[in-house]
Amino acid sequence: MTGSWEARYAAEFFGTLIFNAFLKNTTGNDDPGLANGGWLLVASGYGLGVMLPAMMFGSISGNHLTPAITIGQAVIGIFPWGHVAPYLIWQFLGTIPGPCLNL
């Protein structure tokens, strides 16, 4: 991971935003009655939702994208506990506008 902690927080915010935008968009189209999507659309959306932020921000913030990864890495000693709370805050803030991009 490179960059200042502020850059890492911003990368987590935008990475989580993109991740959640893709997830909301793909799961909203998986209605078999409407024949809008299907398993291929959902799988592609989830894959892109993880891959794009990883490629864009992975080298900056470590591409945690979810609180589970952040806490898990802190528990096993890979990530410093002092930065867990700010990471979680920016991840939660990124989840708010992400799904709203699909309205």
pTM, rounded to two decimals = 0.81
Could you tell me if residue 102 is inside a domain? no
Could you tell me if residue 68 is inside a domain? yes
Could you tell me if residue 74 is inside a domain? yes
Mean pLDDT is lowest, of 9-18, 38-47, 62-71, 89-98, for 38-47
pLDDT score, position 79: 92
Could you tell me if residue 103 is inside a domain? no
Q: Which residues contact 58 (CB under 8 A, 6 or more apart)?
A: none
Whether the per-residue pLDDT at 14 is higher than 60: the answer is: yes
Our measurement of the distance from residue 19's CA atom to the centroid of its chain's CA atoms, rounded to an integer in Å, reads 4
Phi, psi dihedrals of residue 76, rounded to the nearest 5°: -90, 0
pLDDT score, position 34: 59
Could you tell me if residue 92 is inside a domain? yes
Span 18-57, pLDDT tens digits: 888 888 777 666 555 655 667 777 788 888 888 998 899 8
Domain carrying residue 29: 5-97
pLDDT score, position 31: 59
CATH of the domain at 57: 1.20.1080.10
Number of structural domains in the chain: 1
